[in-house]
C-alpha cells in the first residue's frame, strides 16, 4: 500500500474546518455573512446554549435553487466568484466556498431554502447528506446547526465558558450589524433578545442599539475621502472613552477587520484630547476599490492587506482630527455627573468652630476631617454636583443669568428664555419650537438620537433606536445647516475655591479648571518652543556604538537622512553596528545613549521623527510645572487674561493629559436644576414663575 494517499473528503473538510470554524461565533459569522451576501434585508439569529446546542440563521435573501443546494455543501463551491479576475475584485464577504462544508463536517446542519417557489430541505450530518427533499419554505435561506463539534471532541474541549462564547457571538453580530445598517439583525439567545437593529440604514441608530443611546449621542459623524478611499462613520467625543481598543470597529467595504495601523491612526487623530490609557468608541466604514485590498490572507478574512496603507492612515487621522476640531468639546455637566459616593466615617473627628452661627452656644459640625490636609478640595470632591455640594455655584449662576421678562436680550438672535410647551404633534411647527430647536441644536449634533429637547418632552419615552420618532429627519437637516461657533466667548464671573473659574457665555454657565486651562495654554507654546532646539552637537570622547539586528540595520539605512535631520549622524561600523560620534546638545546628560536609541526606535516604528513630537512629554511637563495650581487666588485681571488666552488655543478643551479644561451648564441644565422645566407629563400648566 502506498504511503502517500489522498485524504477522504470528509476528513479534508474537518481539517479545513479547523481554520474556519474555531468556535460557535465562527459559525454565526460565516452563516450571517452568507445571508448578507444573499442580499437579505432581515437576518434573525437564534442561539441556544451559546451555540453549542443550536444555531439558526434565517434570512430573507435570494435563496438557493434546488439544483444548487447540494453543491453548496461541496468544498470550493461558491456562487460568489467565477474566475481569477474576480478574486482580485471581491465585493462579497465570502468567496472561498469553504464555510458551509466546513460547518457541515463538524455538525448536524439542516438547510431550508427557497428562491420563491417550492423550497428545498437538506439535512447534512458530519459532512454526509442524509436527506434531500422538497419542503415548504418562504423566500430566503434558513440554516440550523445542531450538535456543533459533536464529532470533534478535541475542539469541544478547548471552548471557553458559555458566557465567553456567547460574548463572541454577540460581538460578531454587533460588528456585522454595524457594517450593514440597512439590514435588520436580531440575535436571540435561549429566548432572550440580545441585539436588534432596525435596518433603516441609519448607522447612528445601530450604534445606539448596540452601545446605548447615551453613547450614541456622544458620537459625531465623520466623512473624509481622497481619490482612493472614502472614510465615513462615527467617532466618540473625547469625553466618551473606553479602556480598550475593543470598541473601535473598522469596516472595510462592509467587512469587519482588525488592523493595528488603522486603529492607531484613528487614535492619533484625537491627539492630546484623549486621556492616557483611554480609547474612543468608533465605527469607521472605509470604502475602497476592491482591487486595492487583498482579503485572501486568512480564512476568516479578519486580517487583510491594504495597498497604500500609509495614505489611508493619513486620511483617517486627518479626517478625525478635522472633525473634532470643529466640534465644541466641552462636556455637558448633566451627563458627566458621577454618582455621589459616601466616604467612610473616620475614627476621629476634628471639631470646627461654628463661625457663622448666631447662637451663643458653641456648635460643632461633625465634618469628617481629622486634620487640615483632609479639607483640601480634591478634584473629585469638588466636582460640580447639582445642588448638594455646590450651592454657591448655582446661586451665582442664577444671579447673573439673564432674567426673564422685560430685560433686553443680549444678542438679537438670542431666543427668549421661555419654556417651550408642546401639547400636540402639530406644535412642532410652531415658531417657538423651531427657535428652541435652533438654539439647542448646536450642543447636540447627534440630533437624531438626542432629538431636539423640544421633541423629547413630547415623546412618551426616551428615543430608543428601535423607536424612531417622526421628527428626526427635520432635526438632522437642521444639524447640517449652520456652522457652529466652536469655543464660546466667555465672560468671567468669579473664582470658586481658588481652583475653578466661573464664566458665562450666551449659552449658559461654564466652569473652568484654572490649572488645566493654563497648562493647555502653556503646552501650545512649549510644544512649538521645545521643537526649536539648536543644531549644536556635543562631540563625544568615547563614541557610542549601537548594535542592531540585520533587519533593523537594513531598515535604518533607508532612514539615515531622517535621523541626520534631528542631529543623529549614524555611521556604519561593521555589519550590524552603527557608531555615533556626537549628539545634539539638548540631550539630557547621562541619557545620551538611551535618547538616541529611543529616537531610532521611533524611526524604526514610524519611519519618521521630529524633535517636537519626540519631546512632547517634556513639553507637557514644562507646561504643567509653569502653570498656576489649584488653591491659588487669581484677581479679575489675571483670570480674564487666562480665559482670553484659552480662547485662542488650538484645542482649548483638554489639558495635555486629556483632562477636560471646562465643563458646561447649559441654560436648560440650570433650568432643570431649579425645576423650572417640569416633567414632560405636566408641561403646560404652571412654570415656576
Applying CB under 8 A, the residues found at the interface with another protein are 346-353, 355-356, 360, 362, 364, 366, 370-372, 375-377, 382, 495, 497-499, 518, 626-629, 631-635, 637-639, 641-642, 645
In whole angstroms, give the CA distance from residue 17 to residue 11.
10
**Residue (263 or 382) nearer to another protein, CB:** 382
**Residue (472 or 639) nearer to another protein, CB:** 639
In whole angstroms, give the CA distance from residue 458 to residue 622.
51
**Residue (134 or 395) nearer to another protein, CB:** 395
**Residue (440 or 523) nearer to another protein, CB:** 523
In whole angstroms, give the CA distance from residue 659 to residue 651.
12
Render the burial of 425-457: b for 16+ CB within 10 Å, e for the rest.
eeebeeebbbbbbbbbbbbbbbbbbbbbbbbeb
Contact 140/57 with Cβ under 8 angstroms? Answer: no
3-state class (DSSP) for residue 118: coil
Q: Cite the beta strand spans of 566-646 per DSSP E.
A: 571-572, 577-584
**Residue (458 or 627) nearer to another protein, CB:** 627
Least Å distance, CB 500 to another protein, is: 10
Judge residue 635's burial from the number of C-beta atoms within 10 Å of its C-beta, 0-12 exposed, 13-18 middle, 19 or more buried: exposed
Least Å distance, CB 365 to another protein, is: 9
Least Å distance, CB 21 to another protein, is: 59
Least Å distance, CB 586 to another protein, is: 20
**Residue (501 or 670) nearer to another protein, CB:** 501
Least Å distance, CB 359 to another protein, is: 9
Q: Within its chain, how far is the Cα of 661 from the centroid?
A: 21
In whole angstroms, give the CA distance from residue 343 to residue 322.
42
3-state class (DSSP) for residue 288: strand
Sign of the dihedral through C-alpha 614, 619, 620, 622: positive
**Residue (138 or 626) nearer to another protein, CB:** 626
For the record, the C-alpha cell of 257 comes out as: 477587520
Q: Sort strands 54-59 and 108-114 into parallel, antiparallel or unpaired.
A: unpaired
DSSP-assigned states of every residue in 216-231:
HHTEEEEEEE-SSEEE
**Residue (137 or 512) nearer to another protein, CB:** 512
Contact 119/110 with Cβ under 8 angstroms? Answer: no
Least Å distance, CB 649 to another protein, is: 13
Least Å distance, CB 374 to another protein, is: 10
**Residue (609 or 624) nearer to another protein, CB:** 624
For the record, the C-alpha cell of 175 comes out as: 460588528
Least Å distance, CB 662 to another protein, is: 15
Least Å distance, CB 664 to another protein, is: 21
- Selection from 91, 10, 374, 113 nearest residue 254 by Cα: 91
Amino acid at each position: 500500500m502506498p504511503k502517500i494517499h489522498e485524504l477522504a473528503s470528509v476528513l479534508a473538510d474537518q481539517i479545513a474546518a479547523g481554520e474556519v470554524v474555531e468556535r460557535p461565533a465562527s459559525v454565526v459569522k460565516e452563516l450571517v455573512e452568507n445571508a448578507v451576501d444573499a442580499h437579505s434585508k432581515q437576518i434573525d439569529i437564534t442561539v441556544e446554549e451559546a451555540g453549542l446546542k443550536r444555531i439558526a440563521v434565517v434570512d430573507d435573501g435570494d435563496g438557493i435553487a434546488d439544483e444548487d443546494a447540494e453543491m453548496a455543501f461541496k468544498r470550493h463551491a461558491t456562487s460568489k466568484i467565477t474566475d481569477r479576475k474576480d478574486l482580485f475584485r471581491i465585493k462579497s464577504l465570502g468567496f472561498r466556498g469553504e464555510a458551509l462544508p466546513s460547518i457541515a463536517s463538524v455538525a448536524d446542519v439542516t438547510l431550508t431554502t427557497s428562491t420563491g417557489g417550492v423550497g428545498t430541505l437538506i439535512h447534512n450530518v458530519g459532512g454526509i447528506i442524509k436527506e434531500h427533499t422538497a419542503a415548504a419554505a418562504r423566500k430566503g435561506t434558513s440554516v440550523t446547526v445542531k450538535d456543533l463539534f459533536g464529532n470533534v471532541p478535541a475542539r469541544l474541549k478547548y471552548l471557553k465558558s458559555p458566557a465567553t462564547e456567547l460574548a463572541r457571538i454577540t460581538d460578531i453580530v454587533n460588528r456585522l450589524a454595524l457594517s450593514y445598517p440597512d439590514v435588520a439583525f436580531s440575535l436571540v439567545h435561549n429566548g432572550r433578545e440580545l441585539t436588534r437593529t432596525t435596518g433603516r440604514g441609519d448607522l447612528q441608530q445601530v450604534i445606539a442599539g448596540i452601545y446605548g443611546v447615551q453613547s450614541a449621542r456622544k458620537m459625531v459623524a465623520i466623512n473624509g475621502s481622497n481619490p482612493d478611499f472614502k472614510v465615513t462613520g462615527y467617532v466618540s467625543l473625547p469625553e466618551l472613552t473606553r479602556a480598550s481598543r475593543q470598541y473601535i470597529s473598522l469596516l472595510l467595504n462592509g467587512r469587519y477587520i482588525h488592523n493595528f495601523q488603522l486603529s492607531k491612526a484613528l487614535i492619533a487623530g484625537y491627539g492630546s484630547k484623549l486621556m492616557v490609557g483611554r480609547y474612543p468608541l468608533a465605527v469607521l466604514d472605509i470604502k475602497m476599490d476592491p482591487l486595492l485590498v487583498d482579503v485572501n490572507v486568512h480564512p476568516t478574512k479578519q486580517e487583510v492587506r491594504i495597498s497604500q496603507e500609509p495614505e489611508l492612515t493619513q486620511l483617517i487621522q486627518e479626517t478625525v482630527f478635522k472633525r473634532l476640531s470643529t466640534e465644541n468639546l466641552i462636556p455637558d455637566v448633566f451627563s458627566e455627573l458621577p454618582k455621589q459616593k459616601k466616604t467612610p466615617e473616620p475614627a476621629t473627628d476634628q471639631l470646627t468652630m461654628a463661625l457663622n452661627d448666631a447662637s451663643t452656644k458653641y456648635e460643632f459640625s461633625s465634618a469628617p476631617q481629622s486634620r487640615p490636609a483632609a479639607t483640601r478640595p480634591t478634584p473629585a470632591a469638588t466636582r460640580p454636583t447639582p445642588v448638594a455640594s455646590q450651592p454657591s455655584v448655582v446661586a451665582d449662576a442664577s444671579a447673573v443669568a439673564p432674567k426673564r421678562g422685560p430685560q433686553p436680550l443680549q444678542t438679537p438672535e438670542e431666543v427668549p428664555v421661555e419654556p417651550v410647551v408642546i401639547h400636540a404633534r402639530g406644535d412642532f411647527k410652531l415658531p417657538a419650537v423651531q427657535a428652541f430647536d435652533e438654539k439647542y441644536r448646536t450642543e447636540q449634533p447627534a440630533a437624531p438620537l438626542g432629538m431636539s429637547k423640544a421633541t423629547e418632552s413630547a415623546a412618551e419615552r426616551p428615543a430608543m433606536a428601535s423607536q424612531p420618532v417622526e421628527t428626526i429627519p427635520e432635526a438632522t437637516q437642521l444639524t447640517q445647516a449652520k456652522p457652529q461657533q466652536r469655543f464660546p466667548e466667555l465672560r468671567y464671573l468669579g473664582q470658586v475655591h481658588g481652583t475653578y473659574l466661573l464664566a458665562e457665555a450666551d449659552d449658559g454657565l461654564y466652569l473652568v479648571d484654572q490649572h488645566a486651562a493654563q497648562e493647555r495654554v502653556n503646552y501650545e507654546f512649549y510644544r512649538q518652543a521645545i521643537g526649536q532646539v539648536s543644531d549644536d552637537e556635543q562631540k563625544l570622547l568615547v563614541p557610542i556604538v549601537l548594535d542592531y539586528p540585520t533587519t533593523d540595520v537594513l531598515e535604518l539605512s533607508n532612514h539615515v537622512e531622517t535621523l541626520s535631520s534631528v542631529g543623529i549622524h549614524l555611521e556604519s561600523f561593521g555589519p550590524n553596528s552603527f557608531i555615533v560620534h556626537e549628539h545634539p546638545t539638548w540631550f539630557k546628560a547621562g541619557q545620551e545613549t538611551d535618547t538616541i536609541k529611543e529616537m531610532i526606535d521611533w524611526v524604526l516604528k514610524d519611519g519618521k521623527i521630529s524633535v517636537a513630537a519626540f519631546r512632547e512629554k517634556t513639553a507637557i511637563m514644562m507646561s504643567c510645572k509653569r502653570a498656576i495650581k489649584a488653591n491659588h487666588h487669581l484677581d479679575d485681571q489675571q483670570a480674564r487674561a487666562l480665559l482670553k488666552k484659552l480662547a485662542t488655543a488650538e484645542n482649548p478643551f483638554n489639558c495635555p493629559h486629556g483632562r477636560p479644561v471646562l465643563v458646561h451648564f447649559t441654560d436648560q441644565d440650570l433650568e432643570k436644576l431649579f425645576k423650572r422645566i417640569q416633567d414632560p407629563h405636566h408641561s403646560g400648566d404652571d412654570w415656576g414663575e
